[in-house]
């Protein structure tokens, strides 16, 4: 069975009638549906959701040499698949564990400083004096 008490990433072997494959479990994955678990399947090069009840009896620990070989052969593909998976499910990860998210946040653009010119300050003062329209002037009084 996959034991993550010592490591956050567990390498193991899934033995089935179709053959054996190295799989990887990461406890930082978002939780799957009830009774299900995510594993990286090295044969398929994908993170797959498995029925935990079915897969559990078929999981086996790798020996020291097998573990070293698996880490060497699959670590790069595993990291790429993990990164894509976590990005795709980042909302799930944040909801379950806000500290686990290592997705780079976009920096907020800094507001540009507002440069006030003499013309603008005069316009603001003139625009604030709208009482001329309230004095009953009509459009006939304006010069064409």
Q: Does position 7 have pLDDT exceeding 70, yes or no? A: yes
For residue 118, tell me if it sits in a domain: no
For residue 52, tell me if it sits in a domain: yes
For residue 17, tell me if it sits in a domain: yes
For residue 92, tell me if it sits in a domain: yes
Average of per-residue pLDDT across 115-136? 53
For residue 69, tell me if it sits in a domain: yes
- Most confident of the following: 101-105, 114-118, 122-126: 114-118
For residue 119, tell me if it sits in a domain: no
Query: Which residues form the domain of 72?
Result: 9-100
For residue 35, tell me if it sits in a domain: yes
User: What pLDDT is recorded for position 8?
Assistant: 85
The DSSP annotation for 38-103 comes to: EEEETTTTEEEEEEHHHHGGGEEEPPHHHHHHHHHHHHHHHHHHHHHHHHHTHHHHHHH-GGG--P
Evaluate if pTM is beyond 0.75: no
Position 105 confidence tier, pLDDT thresholds 50, 70, 90? low
Q: Does position 101 have pLDDT exceeding 50, yes or no? A: no
Q: Does position 57 have pLDDT exceeding 90, yes or no? A: yes
Average of per-residue pLDDT across 118-131? 51
Q: Tell me how many domains the chain contains.
A: 1
């Amino acid at each position: 069975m996959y034991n993550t008490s010592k490591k956050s990433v567990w390498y193991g072997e899934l033995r089935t009638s179709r053959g054996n494959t190295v799989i990887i479990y990461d406890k930082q994955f978002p939780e799957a549906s009830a009774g299900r678990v995510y594993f990286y399947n090295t044969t398929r090069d994908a993170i797959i959701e498995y029925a935990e009840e079915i897969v559990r009896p078929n999981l086996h620990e790798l020996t020291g040499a097998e573990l070293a070989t698996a880490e060497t052969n699959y670590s790069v593909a595993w990291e790429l698949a993990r990164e894509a998976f976590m990005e795709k499910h980042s909302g799930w990860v944040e909801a379950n564990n806000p500290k686990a998210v290592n997705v780079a946040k976009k920096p907020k653009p800094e507001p540009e400083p507002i440069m006030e010119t003499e013309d603008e300050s005069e316009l603001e003062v003139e625009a604030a004096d709208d009482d001329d329209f309230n004095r009953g002037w009509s459009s006939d009084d304006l010069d064409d």
